[in-house]
Amino acid sequence: QVQLVESGGGLVQAGGSLRLSCAASGRTFSSYAMGWFRQASGKEREFVATISRSGSIIKYADSVKGRFTISRDNAKNTVYLQMNSLKPEDAAVYSCAADQITIPRVDQGEYDYWGQGTQVTVSS
């Protein structure tokens, strides 16, 4: 069982930056690939980024490539999402998720555990 708690969301102007954190409970954090997903109001949840257990494999959605960076610190049981050059269309509830798999996946249906999410609002 893994419990995930996101933080770091808030209101930012377009072009600004935010850093999201997702803290995991338990001693098996390094056994999970971790992903970030987002759901904008009135839209379906979509993939943002994912990182393998060791951090050696990373995947991004095309919409965030070059602007967002996912990373993890297994010693701190935490995964991060650095978001730069934010756009109004990035506004959403961002959730982290854990997947007990070696190669990280983009399909949200494969993830086993989810956090409650943190709101990101981007003003134009």
Average pLDDT, the chain: 96
What is the four-CA torsion angle of 114, 55, 18, 86, rounded to 10 degrees?
-100
Mean pLDDT for 95-114 is: 93
Q: Are strands 78-83 and 68-73 parallel, antiparallel or unpaired?
A: antiparallel
Which phi-psi region, left, alpha or beta, contains residue 85 (left: φ > 0; alpha: ψ -120 to 50)? left
DSSP line for 46-67: EEEEEE-SSS--EEE-TTTTTT
pLDDT grade, residue 27 (50/70/90)?
A: confident
Strand partners, 120: 10, 92
As a whole number, mean pLDDT of residues 97-120 equals 94
pLDDT above 90 covers what percent of the chain? Answer: 94
